[in-house]
Chain A
Amino acid sequence: MDFNYSEEEQRFRSEVRAWLADALPKGWGKTVFEPEDEDERAHFRIDWERKLYEGGWSGISWPKKYGGRGATLVEQGIFAEELARAQAPEGINVIGRNLAATTLMHHGSEAQRERYLPKILSADEIWCQGFSEPNAGSDLASSRCRADLDGDEFVINGQKIWTSFAQYSQWCILLARTDQSAPKHKGLSFFLVDMSTPGITIRPLTQISGEKEFNETFFENVRIPKENLVGELNDGWRIAMTTLSYERGAEDALARQIRFKQELDLLIETAGQVELGEGKAIDNPAVRQRLAQSIVDLELMRMNCLREFSKAIKGEKPGPESSMMKLYWSHVAQDMADMSIEILGPEGLLMQGDEDALARGRFPMSCLQSRAFTIYSGTSEIQRNIIAERVLGLPK
C-alpha cells in the first residue's frame, strides 16, 4: 500500500498541468466561464474535446494501437484531477469515449475498431446511447425496438428514450431485438447506427432543470449495413453489460468525484461568506456537521475508486461490483446538493442570472440536476437488486 506518486507520475502531473494552463483562456474559471446558452455550450465543449485531442490528451488510457497514450489507471486519475483543478470544461463525447469505445475494444471486430475508434478519439464523431425505451427502463431486457435482417441490411423500427446528446451525435450504440421468440435476454443484439440515416427522428425532452440534454429518438424503417452488428447476433445483452459496467465503474466515478469535490469546496467557501443573522453559515455547529459529513463521504468516494483501480491493476475485470460505486456516489452527491440549498439561506435559492445569486446559482441548479443521479444508468433500486443478487448472492 502506497499513496505516494512515483517521480514518473509526478512528471506526468506537471506535464498535464502546464498544458492545461496554456490551453485554457486567460482568467478561466474566475472571470471567463462557459457560454450560458445550452447549445453554444455544447459546441464549446466539443471544441474543447478537439483541443484535448490535438494536444494528445484524448482517451489517454486507450491502448497505443488505438491512438491512446496507454496511460495507467493512476495516470488517468492524475489527469482527471488536473482537469478538475483547472476547472476545465467537461466533455460531451463521454458516451463515445467511455461506453462505445470500451465496448468495441472488448467486443468489436478489428475492422470496427479501426473505423470508429480514431474518430471517437478526435471528437469528430459524437456518440449517443440507445438503450432505454418508454416501456423498457429498469427492465432493460424487455426492449422492443427491433432490427430485422433484410438482405445485407438490418431494418430498425422502434423508439428509444433518454438519449442524451442525440442532437449532437453522429453515431448511436443501439440495443435492439433480433429474435422475437427467444427469452427476452437472449433475443437482443448490439448495433452501431449512423444518426444521419433516413428514418431517424429526434425530439428533445426538457429536463426538470430546464435543460434539453436528452431526447426521444424514433426509428422508422432505418436501414443499416449488417456489418454494424457488434459481436454475435442475439448476444447483445452480454455486450450491453460490458457497457454498463464501464458506465457505473470506478473510472467514471473518479472523474465525477473531482467535480463534486470542487463543488463542495465552493460550498464551504460560500458558507464562510453568507451571513445568517446569527453569524456566518459555517459557524453554525449543525451546518458544520453536515458539511463535514459530505467531506468525509466524498473523500471516501475517491478512496473507493482508488481501491477499485488497484484491483483492476491486479487484473480483476469490472463486474457487478461497479453498481456499488454508482449507488454510493449518486446518493452522496445528491445529499450534498440537497444540503447546499438548505444551509445558505434565502439567497441560496437564487439561480444563475440573478444579481444576488451565490456562486452564479450553481447550488440550486445542482440540486435539480442531482435528481437524475439516482435514476440514470440504472436506478438505485436496480443497482441494489444487482448488488444483492450478483455480489451478495441473494436468491432471485
Chain B
Amino acid sequence: MNFDFNEEQYMFQETVRESLSAEYPIDLLRDGGDPVALEAELWPKLAELGLFSLLVPEEQGGLGLTAVDLALIAEEFGAALVPLTVTDTIAASLVIAKFGDDAQKAKWLEDLSTGGLRVAFAVYEKDGGYAAEGFASALTADNRLNGKKLLVAGADRADLLLVIARDAAGEPVLLVVDRERAGISVSREEALDISGDYYSIGFDNVAIAEEDILGSASAANVTYVLDLLATIASLGMVGIGGRLLDVTLDYVKERVQFGQPIGAFQAIKHRCADMAVDLNTARSGAYYAAWAMASADVDERERAVSMAKSKANRMAVHVMREAIQLHGGMGYTWEMALHFHYRRGRLLGTLYGSTEYHQERVLAGTVALLAAEQ
C-alpha cells in the first residue's frame, strides 16, 4: 500500500513542467498564436523528451510504462493547455499496445513512440451520449463505415483516426483508420475551447479492412478506452485547477484594495482555502484512477474512473468560477487569459462523461457491490 509517486516520476514531471513553461507559456495563445502552428512547433520538443514513447512497450522501442507514469505528465499538459492531439496520441499507443495484434503493433507503435504519427480520437456524436453502446457510427455487412463524429481534436493533420463505432452486428468496436482514406471528410468546428482546434468528421461508406479493426468487437474494450480518456481528462482538469489556484493566489497577494492585499480579507481567504481543499481531493481521485487503469480489476477501475471524473468535473467548475471571480474585472479580460483555461476545462468536463453520467455509474456499481456482499 503506497499512494505516492516515486522520485523518478516526480523528476520527470519537473522536467516536463520546466520545458512547457519555457516552450509553451500561456502568452503564446493570449497574444493571438494559432494553436495549430503552436502545436507544430511544440510537437518535436515533446518528442525529444521521449513523451510519445512513454506507454509504448519496450519491444517496440518505447519505455513500457503505465498510466501511473502518465499521471503527473497529464496534469502538466492540462495546466499548460497542451493540445489534446498530444494526449490522444499517447493514449492511442496504450490502446494499440493493449488491443492490437502483432502486425498492428509492428505497423504503428514504433512510429508512435518517436512522435512520427499523430492520432485523433473520433468518439463523440450528436445524440450519442457517453457510453460505449451509445454511438451510432457503424460498419455495414461489407465493412463500410458510415457516421459523423464531433469535437475531434487536431483531425485535419492526424495521420490516424481512432474511431469508436459498431460492427455490423451492433457490437461496439475500435477502428484505426488512415485519415486520408476515401469517404472521410473533415471540417473545422467553432468550439468553445480555442486553445486547440476541433473538427467534425464525416464517414461516407469508408472501406474498413480487417487490419483496421483493433481487437475483437466488445463493449468492454471500448469502455476501457473511454475510461482511459476520462482518466487523462480528469488529470488534465486537476492540472487546470492547480494552475488557476496558483495564478489566483499570486493575484490576491499582489492586488491592493482598501489599503491592503485583498488576500488578507477573510472573504477571499476562505474561498481560496475551499479551492485548495477541492483541488486536493480531485487530485486524490485522479491519481487513484490512474493506478486503477494500470492495475485494478474492471469493476474497481470503472468505479475509480467515474469517481475521479465526476469529482474533477465538480472541482473544475468550482475552481474556474472562483479564479475568474477573485480576479475581478481583470478576470473577465482577454488579456488576463484565464478564459483559455476556463474554455479547456469546460470541454474536458463535458467530454469523456458528464458529472451525472459518471455519478450514475458510481451508484450502479456501488449498489451491485453491496448486493454482492450480502
Please indicate the chain B residues that have their CB under 8 angstroms from the CB of A4 in the complex: 1, 295
Please give me the residue from chain A that is nearest to B289 by CB atom: A303
Q: Which of B37-45, B213-221, B340-348, B357-365 lies at the interface? A: B357-365
Whether A292 contacts B360 by the Cβ 8 Å rule is: yes
Please give, as numbers and ranges, the residues of chain A lying within 8 Å of B287 by CB-CB distance: 1, 303, 307
| Interface of chain A: mostly helix, strand, loop or mixed | helix
**CA of A4 to CA of B1, assembled, Å:** 5
Whether A135 is near chain B, meaning CB under 8 Å from some CB there, is no
Interface segment out of the listed A37-45, A309-317, A361-369? A309-317
What chain A residues lie within 8 Å of B270 (beta carbons)?
A: 381, 384-385, 388
- Return the chain B residue nearest A2 by Cβ: B2
Chain B residues positioned under 8 Å from A277 (CB to CB): none
- Would you call A71 an interface residue if the criterion is a C-beta within 8 Å of the partner chain's C-beta atoms? no
Q: B366: nearest residue on chain A (CB-CB)?
A: A295
* Beta-carbon contact of B269 and A384 below 8 Å: yes
- Chain A positions 337-396 with a Cβ under 8 Å from a chain B Cβ: 381, 383-385, 387-389, 391-396
Q: Which residue of B lies closest to A389 (CB)?
A: B269
Q: In the complex the two chains form, what is the Cα distance from A307 to B252 in whole Å?
A: 29
Query: Given A2-B1, A272-B367, A394-B263, is A383 in contact with B273 using a C-beta cutoff of 8 Å?
Result: yes
Interface residues on chain B, size class: 35 or more
Interface stretch, picked from B81-89, B157-165, B193-201, B274-282, is B274-282
Contact A295 B362 (CB under 8 A): yes
Expressed in whole angstroms, the minimum distance between the Cβ of A272 and any Cβ of chain B is 7
Q: Is B140's beta carbon under 8 Å from chain A? A: no
Q: Give the docked Cα–Cα distance between A306 and B4 (Å).
A: 9
- Report the nearest B residue to A391, measured CB to CB: B276
Task: Answer yes or no: B352 CB below 8 A from chain A CBs.
Answer: no
In the complex with contacts A288-B363, A385-B269, A327-B277 CB distance below 8 A: yes
Q: Which of B6, B276, B360 contacts A289 (CB 8 A)?
A: B360
Q: In the bound complex, how far is the Cα of B263 from the Cα of A384, in angstroms? A: 13
* B370 x A327 contact (CB < 8 A): no
Whether B370 pairs with A291 at a CB distance below 8 angstroms is no
Most chain A Cβ neighbours within 10 Å, of B68, B280, B282, B362: B280
Q: Name the A residues within 8 Å of B249 (CB-CB).
A: 392-394
Q: Say whether B4 contacts A310, CB under 8 Å.
A: yes
Nearest A residue to B374 via CB reads A269
B269 touches A388 (CB 8 A): yes
A313 to B370, CA, bound (A): 32
Give CA–CA (A295, B249) in the complex, Å: 31
Complex-state Cα separation, A389 to B249, whole angstroms: 11
* CB neighbours of A384 from chain B (8 A): 266, 269-270, 273-274
- Residue of A293, A300, A306 with most partner-chain B CB within 10 A: A300
Q: Decide if A395 touches B253 in the complex (CB within 8 Å).
A: yes
| Residues in chain A near residue B3, CB distance under 8 A | 1, 3, 303, 306-307, 309-310
Out of A289, A381, A394, name the residue touching B356 (CB < 8 Å): A289
Cβ–Cβ < 8 Å partners of B130 in chain A:
none
Among residues 318 to 374 in chain B, which have CB atoms less than 8 Å away from a CB atom of chain A? 356, 359-360, 362-363, 366-367, 370
The answer to the question of A244 belonging to the interface, with a C-beta cut-off of 8 Å to chain B, is no
CA distance A74 to B2 in the complex (A): 9
Q: Which of A1, A324, A396 contacts B2 (CB 8 A)?
A: A1
Is the pair B273, A327 in contact by a Cβ cutoff of 8 Å? yes
Closest to B246 in A: A392
- The residue in chain A whose Cβ has the minimal distance to the Cβ of B2 is A2
B15 contacts chain A at the CB level, 8 A cutoff: no
**Which residues, 295 to 328 on A, are CB-close (under 8 Å) to B?**
295-297, 299-301, 303-304, 306-307, 309-311, 313-314, 324, 327-328
User: Which residues in A have their C-beta under 8 angstroms from that of B284?
Assistant: 300, 303-304, 306-307
Q: How far is the CA of A392 from the CA of B307 in the complex (A)?
A: 26
Chain B residues with Cβ below 8 Å from A268 are 366-367, 370
Q: How far is the CB of B30 from chain A (nearest CB, A)?
A: 25
Q: Judge whether B285 is part of the interface by a CB distance below 8 angstroms.
A: yes
A291 and B363 contacting across the interface, CB-CB below 8 Å: yes
* Interface positions of B from 76 to 113, Cβ below 8 Å from A: none
Residues of A within 8 A of B4 (CB): 1, 307, 310-311, 314
Report if A139 contacts B (CB, 8 A).
Answer: no
Closest residue on chain A to residue B356 by CB atoms: A289
Q: A77 at interface (Cβ–Cβ under 8 A)?
A: yes
Distance in angstroms between the alpha carbons of A310 and B270 in the assembled complex: 27
Q: How far is the CA of A392 from the CA of B269 in the complex (A)?
A: 9
Q: Once bound together, how far apart are the Cα atoms of A6 and B2, in whole Å? A: 11
C-alpha spacing A108/B289, complex, angstroms: 42
Q: Are B264 and A387 in contact (CB under 8 A)?
A: no
Contact flags B281-316 to A (C-beta < 8 A → 1, else 0): 110110110110001100000000001001100000
Q: What separation, in Å, do the CA atoms of A389 and B265 have in the docked complex? A: 11
Confirm or deny: A15 has a beta carbon within 8 angstroms of a beta carbon on chain B.
no
In the complex, A228→B186 CA distance in Å? 79
**Interface of chain A residues 279 through 294 with chain B (CB within 8 A):** 282, 285, 288-289, 291-293
Whole-angstrom CA separation of A209 from B252 in the bound complex: 41
Q: Does B261 contact A (CB under 8 A)?
A: yes
Contacts of B359 in A (CB 8 A): 288-289, 292-293, 296
Bound-state Cα–Cα, A381 to B6, Å: 35
B370 to chain A, nearest CB (A): 6
- Shortest Cβ distance from B68 into A: residue: A1
Is A232 in contact with chain B by the CB < 8 A criterion? no
Beyond A265-B370, A292-B362, whether A394 also contacts B5 by CB under 8 A is no
- Please give the distance in Å from A25's CB to the nearest CB on chain B: 21
Q: Say which residue of B1, B2, B260, B360 sits within 8 Å of A395 (CB atoms).
A: B260
* B257–chain A nearest beta-carbon distance, Å: 13
A9 within 8 A of B: yes
B119 within 8 A of A: no
Complex-state Cα separation, A158 to B231, whole angstroms? 56
Mark out the residues of chain B between 186 and 227 whose CB falls within 8 Å of any chain A CB in the assembled complex. Answer: none
Q: Which of B2, B261, B274 has the most CB of A within 10 A?
A: B2
By Cβ-Cβ distance, the 3 closest A-B pairs, closest first, are A388-B269, A292-B359, A303-B284
19 contacts between A and B (CB under 8 A): A1-B5, A1-B6, A4-B1, A268-B366, A292-B360, A292-B366, A293-B359, A295-B307, A297-B281, A306-B1, A309-B3, A384-B269, A384-B274, A387-B272, A387-B273, A387-B276, A388-B270, A393-B249, A395-B260
Knowing that A2-B2, A2-B291, A324-B277 touch, tell me 5 more A-B residue pairs with CB under 8 angstroms. A1-B3, A77-B1, A289-B363, A307-B284, A387-B277
